[in-house]
Structure 1
Amino acid sequence: MHLTAPATGRPGTRDADGMAVASFILGLLGLLVLNLFLGPIAIALAVAALWRGTARRGRAYLGLALGVADLVVLLALMQADSTVSWSF
């Protein structure tokens, strides 16, 4: 059986849309937990989704911004606590 891309878009657009949504979710989740890991993953997924031409560009950009925000929050809290980790 041969799988084909949907007729409405280019091949791989559905995967890129999934990456954009995953980037948004991981970036949002990274603001609360594991921002050292989830931030860079959100950034990488957002860049990959934008590079592949996602139809959900807004979510990809939000995922990119949230991934960067994850790292900024981590850096700010590390400066405040003088440690590599933080807690509520």
Structure 2
Amino acid sequence: MTILTTTGNTTTPAQRTTPRRSPQADGMAVASFVLGLVGTLVLNVVLGPCALVLATLALTRGTTRRGRALLGLTLGAADLLLLAALTATDGTLSWHLG
């Protein structure tokens, strides 16, 4: 009598569940937050889209600073909404008081 056994690919659970993480993803998350924050004050036409792109890249590359990336995504969208509001109200791309 012969007993047949099959052996499959043996991987540890850590190898199967760990997503690929880029070492630059954390820096991208922080940069998106800073660019989104600064973009609410100056150059929102440039810094808003940059914050959106960096936040999206950081989230897709598996950052450990997920909250910062989500804040960068939110602030980048707020920059573009602020730009649209400024353009619609007075036709310019800049802040002015009074």
**What corresponds to 1:30 in structure 2?**
39
Structure that is richer in helix per residue: 1
Shift of 1:20: 0.1
**What corresponds to 2:5 in structure 1?**
none
Find runs of 4+ consecutive structure 1 residues off by over 4 angstroms: none
Q: Does 2:58 correspond to 1:46?
A: no
Read off the aligned partner of 1:86 and give its amino acid letter: S
Match 1:86 to one of 64, 69, 94? 94
Secondary structure at the counterpart of residue 24 of structure 2 = helix
CA–CA separation in structure 2 for the residues paired with 1:51 and 1:11: 9
**What corresponds to 1:58 in structure 2?**
67
Larger Rg over CA atoms: 2
Aligned length: 78
Q: Does 2:78 correspond to 1:69?
A: yes
RMSD: 1.5
% identical equivalent positions: 60
Alignment of 1:4-19 (within 5 A): 11-12=21-22, 14-19=23-28
TM-score (norm 2): 0.75
Segments of structure 2 that go 5 or more residues without pairing to the other structure are: 1-18
Shift of 1:11: 4.9
Segments of structure 1 that go 5 or more residues without pairing to the other structure are: 1-8
Shift of 1:10: 5.2
Secondary structure at the counterpart of residue 95 of structure 2 = coil
CA–CA separation in structure 2 for the residues paired with 1:11 and 1:71: 29
